[in-house]
Structure 1
């Protein structure tokens, strides 16, 4: 291939590449709580580069599931396109393979709630042009990450104004056979109180007190659907506002890649109602 042909091929590929692809980057975030650094994927909307230098953006935090990492969402879905569509920053931190995003009572080195809920948020606000208020922050995740998102939001209502769960393990007491879960929660018998206190289904009333915009969904063929129905029913009984949906599908990326589109749409609407938007998204 001669140089001229190679040049035009490269130029063509550049123009064929979606704009948001250039805005995806991996950052390394230090954790004082765990004495190590972890990576995270950050996707910036195209408007971040094209807009005014002082434009600031709301942030959606997306948590991966058990056995996953910070690359899961971008590897298995078209999540990056949502950053452009809704003018939001997407942040996908690494939550460890089986951390459950809690500060473990039995493993002092596993403090992923503090890491994600405090250290990641602090890093993102310090290094990117965010709207650094609860009204402009949302957090969601799939499976273990769904539990983690709701758990972190409940513990930090001053940090997150909106939260969601996709196929969330909202009652970890039904996941006792999950490999490694007892290493962070502790033995289900000896630490029964902790397991009970951490179950999202036992904390439905707290969502009303926290005034968090809430969206939950699960596939009808998912083994976790019954615990999600229980959470939904308790929220209804308590009069806690929330969106709830069941759609065809199971515990698969096909379901999650579709469901996250509705969740980010929900968050974008919440940001707009809160007045926490850029000029571009407010005009959309």
Structure 2
């Protein structure tokens, strides 16, 4: 990849920018002994439409694409093996034991701007319930003061990934820093635990709602109570943000499932009984996402039971390009809830 053609510290600002002009991006890989190199990623619908790269006399394989602003995840397929881009420092876990590369096109209020920066901490916590060490990333806002109290947002990752994806692909600290500097949101703490899919759901729920919450309130200046506690994000190990809030309403006052993968049995259970939700709800799902039918059915169940909720539908799939596009709205909605509930 040619770094002169892209901004490595940028990602899309809003969904509107996706309709903007195309930008030229050259992908390149030095592999003089390779017999075949393919570009595979979100721009090719992964294996559905791989792009054959051409080898030059210098042994470098190249292809140039016209891409819209946003975040694009990709890899190279070299003689039958996946290879991340060695020229690109931006990588993240791919959920399958390897890494993918990602490039960031455009500029916006999630980029690394010249504003006060918060702290992004990477912690290890010994869980008695889960009987193992748990990785937890924590964002503390700029000017964090132990003498005051801050609301808390749990932000969950997706299936087969880890909590650090909200910092790497999600650039959540950049979003928070810039929104706080502009006055668009008020300060709050974000906790991003890595959730292991081998654990039973009741244990995971107890860990998140009780053990982790207790530890966070001891480590940091967290404001107690459900009016100051929210959960949002994707669906790790079938544990959607809604499931957690539904089973533990005494802990969470606001929930925002993001591209949630609701299991059919979960929806059947919700549909078979009167459903009450003593917390605020906002759904996010892209209109091209493969999980949209599940989210539409879930929204219908909420309507049938008279549960009030908001639902943000904009163009996008199950990609970080879409999730980056709704992060500003998500963080503003969480901030508004904290402000109104308090």
Structure number with higher strand proportion: 2
Cα distance in 1 for residues equivalent to 2:268 and 2:221: 35
| CA drift at 1:234 | 1.9
| CA drift at 1:209 | 2.8
| CA drift at 1:256 | 1.3
Instruction: Show the 5 A alignment for 1:133-148.
Output: 133-144=225-236, 147-148=239-240
| CA drift at 1:81 | 3.5
Structure 1 counterpart of 2:167, from 74, 83, 100: 74
Contact 1:100/1:148 (CA < 8 Å) preserved in 2? no
Aligned CA distance change for structure 1 residues 99 and 258 (closer, same or farther; 3 Å): farther
Aligned to 2:120: 24
What is the number of residues matched between the two proteins? 224
Aligned to 2:341: 274
- In the superposition, the TM-score normalised over structure 1's length comes to 0.72
* SS of aligned partner of 2:137: strand
Cα distance in 1 for residues equivalent to 2:308 and 2:246: 15
Cα distance in 2 for residues equivalent to 1:273 and 1:204: 30
* SS of aligned partner of 1:42: strand
| CA drift at 1:147 | 4.3
* SS of aligned partner of 1:269: helix
Pair 1:166 & 2:262 matched: no
After superposition, give the CA deviation of every residue in 1:25-67 in whole Å (9 maximum; x if it has no partner): 1111221112111111000111314xxx421110111000111
| CA drift at 1:20 | 2.4
**Unmatched 5+ stretches in structure 1:** 1-15, 104-110, 174-195, 276-284
Cα distance in 1 for residues equivalent to 2:139 and 2:240: 21
Structure 2 counterpart of 1:154, from 246, 250, 253: 246
| CA drift at 1:249 | 0.7
Structure 1 counterpart of 2:151, from 58, 61, 74: 58
Aligned to 2:209: 117
Pair 1:44 & 2:140 matched: yes
Structure 1 counterpart of 2:195, from 70, 78, 95: 95
**Unmatched 5+ stretches in structure 2:** 1-112
Aligned CA distance change for structure 1 residues 124 and 38 (closer, same or farther; 3 Å): same
After superposition, give the CA deviation of every residue in 1:163-187 in whole Å (9 maximum; x if it has no partner): 11110012x23xxxxxxxxxxxxxx
| CA drift at 1:269 | 1.0
